[in-house]
Amino acid sequence: MINKKNAGAVVLIMILVFMGCMGGKEKSDLYIMEELEAASSIEGTAKRIERLKIFLNNHPEHMCREFAYNKIFDTLTEDSGQSGKAMAFFDEVMGTEEDPVIRGTFCYKKFTYLWSVDSTEAIDFAASLLESDEKGFRLFVYLGFDLGYRGRNELAGEMFRKAIDVGNSSFENSFAGMLYGESLSKQGKEDLALGLLKKSADNVFAGKQLGKILWEKGERRGAIEAYINFVAGVPGERGEVKLDSLYAIVYPDNAGELDEKILESRIGHKTLLHGSRFVDTEGKYYNLSDYKGKKLVISAWSPT
């Protein structure tokens, strides 16, 4: 039993043990996150920016520097109305930041801001990125989604084409190919779209548009196969694409076999996972291919 006399010694020992368990880290990740949160929460804009820049100077390689970049940019544009300084800060960051993912996220931040004040300038900026050396896959996918939503289908398609060029894996290439195919279909370029969608057929989402095009062309069995692959990966869409009715039209004597065919096509039953790169909470990267042949449990989560 611990008495009051030696309680202080016990607490001191616990603190020393805890510090030893930190593996010699000068600052724990929790401390760094608290530092970032404190800097971001300062009410005064000038002081907030100052503290965020101190954070960046203290932790130039930390994975959360992206959040600090965005917070400074938002403070300058939304809270202070200092667009010129925001653009200067953007140029400053892009002059030193080397991570293509973080660069891409920051470019997209600038695009969304520009769109809110001058859509023409935003489009010009987006178009300039097509000729740039940017390698951020997500950047071009996000721009493609955004521009397509805003009715700029041709430029959106070019963004998806660029995403194919900068993709680093078969998954990224097939995903971007699927998006590019859908974009071309919206532009009425069915033959080009069909070729891309067939090449991207291992991405389950390609099956929806691919099935639609094939059905309209009279290639009904091919359409059914595409829809089955799609529904196997996205079960909730079975009613949306009317798969049961279409299957009964093509295979009237075997309608009862549809469930079995969907099960056979279910993702993971016959295909390997795509080679992918993951990052943990400390910013360390892992390649899925390094674990081939081993048992692996991945817990994926997002704060958003």
Distance CA 182, CA 205 (A): 10
pLDDT at 12: 40
pLDDT at 29: 73
Residue 303 lies in a domain: no
What is the DSSP code string of 164-231? HHH--SHHHHHHHHHHHHHHHHHTT-HHHHHHHHHHTTTSTTHHHHHHHHHHHTT-HHHHHHHHHHHH
Nearest to 160 by CA among 141, 173, 136: 141
Residue 165 in tokens: 């060029």
Residue 295 lies in a domain: no
Nearest to 129 by CA among 152, 101, 102, 158: 158
Residue 226 lies in a domain: yes
Residue ranges, the chain, pLDDT below 50:
1-2, 4-5, 7-26, 269, 304
pLDDT at 288: 79
Residue 179 lies in a domain: no
Residue 221 lies in a domain: yes
Nearest to 73 by CA among 102, 34, 30: 102
pLDDT at 7: 47
Q: Which domain holds residue 255?
A: 208-271
Number of domains in the chain: 1
The distance in angstroms from the start CA to the end CA of the chain is 46
Residue 107 lies in a domain: no
Strand, coil or helix: 122: helix
Nearest to 173 by CA among 195, 196, 157: 196
pLDDT at 213: 95
